[in-house]
Structure 1
């Protein structure tokens, strides 16, 4: 590894280089500027990688986990509020409650194009802190909403401010982690959905017992909103904007944190919006595969997250028992999300795990459709409902599958934006397939969800074959250019793998990796290896 030189001259040179790294460099990834300060080639040993990764995890992961936990809690306050009389107290009729579930995703749909640009142009840490504050303040304002128009307006604003969270987190994981590390990190913050279903249920159970001038659901809105506002201050202060601006890393560690990403072949950040990347994303068949996959899983997700407590209540339980029976749902979500990520990381493949995760929800939906809704069948109905709760493990794997197969700063942000357009569309449709009047069976919604889980399995198989075709195409390109046809994907090697092989995590393979920080799209970089 390149050794830094001591003294004031060196410090001045480092400061100058790091300032240059924050300036826009047309057509190149900004990581190039910082790497140019190194005295020779930087070799990332397994020990160095492990040490720097630990520091990154300790700073980045707590922020991601806390913010996504709050976003999930804030978004699901509506379903908890429905159990405590929101529908009756605010005189909601017909599909109005369903629209309160969908409007938040309409706002997210509207915001996605702007967010794609913001994530390329703006400092990501400060941007995240501000959006967290704005949605927390909006949730506090929901306390004063007393009818359908005011609830609809505040839910729209809540969705607009929350729209950046998941796309930002995918960008952050791409910016800080090697491909072998990304799946588990994406799963970690997404698993907060399960934590929320456990802690949120317990929190709501406690808040629902408070007697005062405010309704129980108003107390829930106010408490969650104030907690979010407080956390936003810490996010603004402690979340770094990029590896080269991270104050918690030394200059040497910044070099390692960037160099260890070389074999991702994805770059870090360019701060330059490139229209050719936009067209590349739009014409890439993979983009539309991710779009269709995420839309297909978002429809069941949107419906079940909004109507889940009402489905349990339809089994014949009272309000407080319904909240408590939602806790196992969250525990299963955590297991499926983290377990699916662990298995995908172990196999170094996403497609087989995605197919596997579709099977339990299919069984659960069939159980809810055929088992009579009687008091004696409550246990069986709950088992069916809990089997459906495996579905949250699917979304983070789709996020990672997309992220790990897309290169180029603008293309990554645009692709992520399109994915969340699809997710927003699915979450808009999902609640509208369920109607309170169709309780307890919700036949239309459950039938649609059953078809969609089967469709996901078919799309995953198609996607895996297409990605294998792209790998063959890139191998042919390398061979035609005089490079080795077969190369090792070091981005999927762990520190233990490299240590056992006695190699660095950025081992030289005859020029492979030279274009890693040139801000090229994956389709144009023959060294890029796709993961299926």
Structure 2
């Protein structure tokens, strides 16, 4: 071949390769355009890619103020909504609807059948549609379904409404995605979309080391927000006369709370559902209009600020969002042992939550019979829900004694979530920290299991339930582990959906182990939770150790690789924007 012609041919090949790389950088459609993240074009369109730490901090503050307050309120209110059944049981729901045997347990479990039915549909919907508007619609319909609970007249009606709280039937519903006027017939997903949606939004805006604290900030309201609602339900008038008998005076003052309305067409437990339903509808509207999707679509950031927000994720080998479902990522995920180690943590960690939510009040035993309510006795002679009812307290005292559980849960969540974000030394110690909290909860579970139900042991059993509340931090950390350690948008959605699928399964099974014939000891249920919590502790430590070994192996291999050229190094830095999974992207490091 003529040397000049050969040189020209080589030059053309080089130019073609440069054009391919350049096209990828600016997001131009290429044969592999589906691989590109939605944020790629914004990052590459910026001529000045040098950003100061002051600029990054300013963008982070703006993101925090836009996302965290609304996410925290929505998450906390939904926790109050879910525990509303237990509060309603305190004030006569079981008696008014004549629930017998395991019927209350099935009202708890059926919720998670609906959640399970909607979990994978919500995962696809959150990937394709505007996440903020998607969860806003779902939350609004959730509130409407809670309002429907006000009119429940029997077991069958309540059972159906509880199912709909997890999932509502497929019907036409407008969603605004990339095309503002697009109207899609899609599933109305209720509870099954909020937490996965907030998890997704958090991973689209925050770096790995920032996510743990942010998860903690918007889930800590699970332990804070129930307390003012206890006051609303209880509602004793304030007593200004302090003294030796101030507590007695407080107990004797007229009551203003919803829980004291025991006459008329709308009794106390119906008022509770009415209040929660109205607040949820309002919150759904706020989420629809104010919760953002990704940095690409928001209007409150400049183009440079959007690029900074995306570049922060690129530094962790993460992308923002890819709307294309990739079957190869699905196959890769289902065959990956790391995936199963992470999602099974959700399965084994969540059984303990039933002690401190749905069954917290039925483990302090009822002190009067249902016939006494029919004869005019106050509804407050009943304990709040199926776990504090084994202790012999009145419903009024039982309501007060649930407050420490929420406080312990909130404090534990922040203790576990804060160090991995603020202290570099603890960045990769999320799982060991929560495993220690779980060991403490396990001790409380053992105490509750072995302590007799007689009156003289009430204090010990109540203290054990409070200790078990330390397990509330498990939920936050498991979400953080899954969110920070999965790259590739389809892989992330599969991981999240599978985790919440397993969350539903364990919450369907666990209430059925609390047998009415074993009240108030519930030996079968407590033994079941003891075994699951023990497995979770072992699995958490194992997953943490596995991640450290994988990181160490990748670090060692990186030292032996030849130096990259500038162009190749840039492509490696941008792997997150090519929607590569954490398995394929060897520059990705796991955060345990």
**CA RMSD between the two structures:** 2.2
Query: How far apart, CA to CA, are the structure 2 residues paired with 1:59 and 1:65?
Result: 11
Give 3-state SS (helix, strand or coil) of 2:551's partner: helix
Task: Call closer, same or farther: CA 1:253–1:150 in 2, change over 3 Å.
Answer: same
Query: What are the superposed Cα offsets for residues 66-91 of structure 1, whole Å, 9 maximum, x if unpaired?
Result: 11112111111101111111111111
How far is the alpha carbon of 1:476 from its aligned partner?
5.2
Query: What are the superposed Cα offsets for residues 386-428 of structure 1, whole Å, 9 maximum, x if unpaired?
Result: 0001111111111111211110011111101011011111111
Moved more, 352-361 or 201-210: 201-210
Asked whether the 8 Å contact 2:142–2:165 carries over to 1, the reply is: yes
Asked whether the 8 Å contact 2:139–2:281 carries over to 1, the reply is: yes
Q: 2:156: which partner in 1?
A: 149
Where do residues 408-423 of structure 1 align in structure 2 (5 Å cutoff)?
408-423=488-503
How far is the alpha carbon of 1:518 from its aligned partner?
0.7
Query: How far apart, CA to CA, are the structure 1 residues paired with 2:395 and 2:468?
Result: 21
Asked whether the 8 Å contact 2:343–2:482 carries over to 1, the reply is: no
Task: Call closer, same or farther: CA 1:173–1:142 in 2, change over 3 Å.
Answer: same
1:189 aligns with 2:224: no
1:207 aligns with 2:258: yes
Q: 2:127: which partner in 1?
A: 120
Q: 1:64: which partner in 2?
A: 71
Query: How far apart, CA to CA, are the structure 2 residues paired with 1:364 and 1:328?
Result: 14
Match of 1:400 among 469, 472, 480: 480
Q: TM-score scaled by structure 1?
A: 0.88
Number of residue-to-residue matches in the alignment: 490
Where do residues 42-81 of structure 1 align in structure 2 (5 Å cutoff)?
42-81=49-88
Match of 2:317 among 241, 265, 285: 265
Q: 2:296: which partner in 1?
A: 244
Query: How far apart, CA to CA, are the structure 2 residues paired with 1:514 and 1:236?
Result: 32
Match of 1:322 among 383, 398, 403: 398
Task: Call closer, same or farther: CA 1:481–1:100 in 2, change over 3 Å.
Answer: same
Asked whether the 8 Å contact 1:355–1:457 carries over to 2, the reply is: yes
How far is the alpha carbon of 1:367 from its aligned partner?
1.6
Asked whether the 8 Å contact 1:483–1:510 carries over to 2, the reply is: no
Q: TM-score scaled by structure 2?
A: 0.79
How far is the alpha carbon of 1:198 from its aligned partner?
1.5
Query: How far apart, CA to CA, are the structure 2 residues paired with 1:204 and 1:56?
Result: 35
Match of 1:37 among 37, 45, 50: 45
Where do residues 351-390 of structure 1 align in structure 2 (5 Å cutoff)?
351-390=431-470
Q: 1:90: which partner in 2?
A: 97
For the pair shown, which has the larger CA radius of gyration, 1 or 2?
2
Asked whether the 8 Å contact 2:345–2:539 carries over to 1, the reply is: yes
How far is the alpha carbon of 1:187 from its aligned partner?
1.2
Bigger share in helix: 1
The runs of at least 4 consecutive aligned structure 1 residues that moved more than 4 Å come to 17-21, 508-512
Q: 2:271: which partner in 1?
A: 219
Task: Call closer, same or farther: CA 1:483–1:73 in 2, change over 3 Å.
Answer: farther
Task: Call closer, same or farther: CA 1:149–1:516 in 2, change over 3 Å.
Answer: same
Asked whether the 8 Å contact 2:356–2:465 carries over to 1, the reply is: no
Structure 1: tracts of 5 or more residues without a match: 1-16, 485-507
How far is the alpha carbon of 1:125 from its aligned partner?
1.2
Asked whether the 8 Å contact 2:582–2:588 carries over to 1, the reply is: yes
Query: How far apart, CA to CA, are the structure 1 residues paired with 2:555 and 2:571?
Result: 15
1:99 aligns with 2:106: yes
Give 3-state SS (helix, strand or coil) of 1:293's partner: helix
Asked whether the 8 Å contact 1:174–1:403 carries over to 2, the reply is: yes
Query: How far apart, CA to CA, are the structure 1 residues paired with 2:574 and 2:562?
Result: 15
How far is the alpha carbon of 1:436 from its aligned partner?
3.4
Give 3-state SS (helix, strand or coil) of 2:574's partner: coil
Structure 2: tracts of 5 or more residues without a match: 1-24, 168-189, 235-256, 364-387
